[in-house]
Amino acid sequence: MKITAMIMFFLLSFTILLATPLIDNLRFSAPTSDEQIITRGELGFYYDVSFYYNGDNGWVYQTFDAIEDSYNSYQSSLPAPIDDTLKIGIRAYNDVISETDAGVAIQAIPWESQAMPLFNDLNWLVNDTTEDTTVDETFLDITATYFTFNDEKLYFSIQNNGGGFPVSEAIWGPFYSYISLIIPTDINLTPFGLLYTVNQAGIIQPGLYKIVGTGMNDIQLIGSIESTIDATNNLLTLSCNWSDLYADDDFNSWFDPEEPMFSTVSGTGRITLAGGMQETDFTYPAVVFLDSITLDPLDNALPQITDLHEDSEAGLVYATYLDENGNFPLTAQALINGEISVELQAQSYDFSQEVVFVSNQVDEILNADWTDITVIFSDNNIDYTEMTIYPVSNLDSDLAPVLTSFTNYPNPFNPETTISFALHEGSQVKLEIYNLKGQKLVTLLEGLYPAGKHEVRWAGKDQNNKDVASGIYYVLLKTESEKHTHKMVLMK
């Protein structure tokens, strides 16, 4: 089976894309009220991106649409993994071959079984133009290709225009072949192929081959393949073992299990004693990413705000967001003076760790014309967490508040949380915990406190040292001139 110059050109065009993620900064929300999760990200080289998953009646595709008034940000919705794990695939395109031919890339969904996958279990790769073969044989005319994989095998499927998948017409030929290639990110390195053809001892046979040149004598058998034909769907599926590939040094020289990817094309050929090997049809290449996306059902924890402050010189609000589930917030806003709403923008997108959010410039902060700043976050638009700060400037004013900050961390918490507050001047302080019925559970502190920051820990116990139940609680802080409340969530 030859790799022609045209195929090499297509693959060279695709090489630059192989190391490029389909979606940059891919992130997910918590389940919303309609049992959906929102996914967002940014696009680089690719366009026309879709998510897909296996629904009740086969594959379901969801488009990834541009978010209005945003720069290069896209959004989609998917069913939330409420009871079962959700496996997600991604499909994308790029105009790397010509203005009319789009290159395909997928982030594939794996096949969990060890049995040969059926048609509806396969990830769709590419469609191919019909009736474009160099010989008038429908079985050599590829119409589409598919792929899946598991921990032991890779599966490549070729769909043709009918007529089955014969490998010979007589003992003297002509003979026919069908191949799916596994191609490295650097086309100067060694590709591999799963070849389905006639079994001629000492000459050619079906198998997994290493391809070291462009002629029939430049292929080296390194392993066996399995094959099955689905006559209903005109589908030939070939599989090979990962172990045979990993046993080859040339494969290990370019395949990275930490970032598993390759390009693939499929083709057909006709072999005669007089004319040798004749290529009859080849598909356009597809990039395959094997780092699958899996979302497991989780008990959602409220996000936490670990820091909040303003920059009066720049007129900005800074808030630090932390979500133990790694979800991004659907709501991220600041409320200035109880009425001016300002959107907060993430400065990074790795929500497995703390992420700083920043506002645009706010005149009230720039002009020191603010009395309070409250930031509000929610990862599902159902449950919200917030934090409020008060100004510390103009401390000589009789109108300046005694309390300058008041929060707790973590929130939600289990089994204990730290309540912190800051005073700009000394004051009598009393701090109490109440339940939703308004019943006082415990007084945590009472006395004269100097200016500065103070902390007290609450371990979820009442005044009798008994554990309280999971739920919402309010901490009431009283100074000589003010009262402030703050909501806390205990989740056991």
Out of 242, 260, 294, pick the residue that ends a domain: 294
pLDDT recorded at residue 29: 96
145-149, 364-368, 449-453: which is most confident? 145-149
Q: Are residues 218 and 318 in the same domain?
A: no
Q: Are residues 155 and 208 in the same domain?
A: yes
pLDDT recorded at residue 450: 93
Residue 325: pLDDT above 90? Answer: yes
211 lies in which domain range? 5-294
Confidence of residue 214 (pLDDT cuts 50, 70, 90): low
Q: What is the 3-state secondary structure (H, E, C) of 381-405?
A: CCCCEEEEECCCCCCCCCCCCCEEE
Residue 215: pLDDT above 70? Answer: no
Give the total number of structural domains in the chain.
2
Q: Are residues 283 and 342 in the same domain?
A: no
Residue 197 lies in a domain: yes
- Taking the C-alpha atoms of residue 114 and residue 117, their distance in angstroms, rounded to an integer, is 8
Q: Which tens digit of pLDDT belongs to each residue from 51-61?
A: 999 888 889 99
Instruction: Kindly report the number of other CB atoms within 10 A of residue 29's CB atom.
Output: 27
- Taking the C-alpha atoms of residue 38 and residue 133, their distance in angstroms, rounded to an integer, is 44
How far are the Cα atoms of 68, 256, 324 from residue 387, in angstroms, in the given order? Answer: 28, 45, 18
Output 116 or 10, whichever has higher pLDDT: 116
- Taking the C-alpha atoms of residue 455 and residue 420, their distance in angstroms, rounded to an integer, is 4
Q: Are residues 367 and 221 in the same domain?
A: no
pLDDT recorded at residue 43: 87
Instruction: Kindly report the number of other CB atoms within 10 A of residue 471's CB atom.
Output: 12
pLDDT recorded at residue 1: 41
Q: Which tens digit of pLDDT belongs to each residue from 142-173?
A: 999 999 999 999 999 999 999 999 998 877 77
Cβ 120 vs Cβ 300: under 8 Å? no
Confidence of residue 392 (pLDDT cuts 50, 70, 90): low
Rg of the chain over CA atoms, in angstroms?
31
Q: Are residues 278 and 327 in the same domain?
A: no
Name the nearest CA neighbour of 208 among 237, 166, 179.
179
How confident is the model over 442-468, as a mean pLDDT? 94
Residue 299 lies in a domain: no
Cβ 31 vs Cβ 37: under 8 Å? yes
Out of 294, 312, 346, pick the residue that ends a domain: 294
